[in-house]
Amino acid sequence: MVTLKEATTKTDLKKFVKFPFSIYKDSPYWIPPIINDELESFDKTKNPAFKNAEARFFLAYKNNEIVGRIAAIINWIEINDQKVKKMRFGWFDFVNDTEVSETLLKKVEEIGKEHQLEYMEGPVGFSNLDKVGVLVEGFDEMGTMITWYNHAYYPEHYERLGFVKEKEYVENRFPFSNAHPKFYDKAGELVKRRYGVKALSYTKTKDVMAMADTMFDLFNETYSSLSSFVPITEIQKAYFKKKYISFINPEYIKFILDKEDNLIAFGIVMPSFSHALQKAKGKLFPFGLFHMLHAKKHSKDVIFYLIGVHPDYQNKGVTAVMFQEYYKTFTAKKIVNCIRTPELADNIAIKQLWKHFNPEIYKRRRTYRKNL
């Protein structure tokens, strides 16, 4: 028999965070999170997502052993402002036992019905900057710090329990050697002359931080038309600056300005921390921080995290100017592989943006939906 316990104490939340360490301990592809960072993201006093959202965390037990976990999430901006009556769930992990997965999902369903919501969808996080989707292809590929990994049996459980595919995401990669300047140099120079735009790069984090609020505003404007988009609030900006921007090489963040020096595009690329996180085993101390800092300086793989372009400049080639800058930076750093974060499979504009790099789809993931 499966029983549920809501994780409300720090001790229980730590068990919630550490559960995946048990079911993926032998996997060479799973990337463990930093335990304290994960705990902080679930702390209502520290994560500003809780200003506009609420979450409950549940552990499943069988024979006095933890066998699963799930987070039930309600984003009130999504429900009250966008009129999307969705019950979210994420951080969903479980042993290969349908009784376990069903019990956890039933709890989320129960909470959704209590709030008169129309459907549930997951796995998703609090916002668009959180991890998304259950892996359905690419189980023998290493994960990244910004995606969830899961065993191959996960999708079968969703479908067996009456869930249907809601969204599909693809993950692409290409060797940096595919990035030939001829594809974007000429276009970049033409765009600069035609629109008077210019690129801006920094080598100091403090200079990037000065641009960060404006960048997040542009992010909201760029992605507002996408399904399931929830804007970043003012209070979240400071949190994300601390959590993400301060840990990224400043030269990996590029800005494009118009002739009045208004920000019209940005790109955020991260060094790959996958191997470093595997070595850290969930802890920054005593040696995890060393592995992370080494990866920040020396990783030859990079992850394209976000690219945003103002709606007025979309389809005008400004990304060619951005790629010119990245080519110079990555050549100097001797980058070998370029990896992209999950992108909606039906996003034609993204496919067009990357087509000259001959990317390879190496993973697919989905969110699943069930009406309440």
**Could you check whether 2-174 and 175-359 share the same CATH topology?**
yes
- How would residue 226 be classed by pLDDT, with cut points 50, 70 and 90? low
Nearest-angstrom CA–CA distance, 255 and 211? 9
34: Cα within 13 Å, side-chain hemisphere? 22
Which of 72-76, 220-224, 314-318 tops mean pLDDT?
Answer: 72-76
Q: 10 Å Cβ neighbour count for 42?
A: 21
How many angstroms from the chain centroid is the CA of residue 320?
Answer: 24
Q: 10 Å Cβ neighbour count for 319?
A: 24
Single out the residue of 318, 363, 311 nearest to residue 340, CA to CA: 363
Q: Which CATH architecture has domain 175-359?
A: 3-Layer(aba) Sandwich (3.40)
User: Nearest 10 degrees: CA dihedral of 131, 134, 140, 145?
Assistant: 10
Q: Which CATH architecture has domain 2-174?
A: 3-Layer(aba) Sandwich (3.40)
pLDDT tens for 265-300 read 999 999 999 999 999 999 999 999 999 999 999 999
pLDDT tens for 116-154 read 999 999 999 998 778 999 999 999 999 999 999 999 999
All structural domains of the chain with their residue ranges: 2-174, 175-359
Which of 51-73 are b and which e, b meaning 16 or more Cβ less than 10 Å from the residue's Cβ? Answer: ebbebebbbbbbeeebbbbbbbb
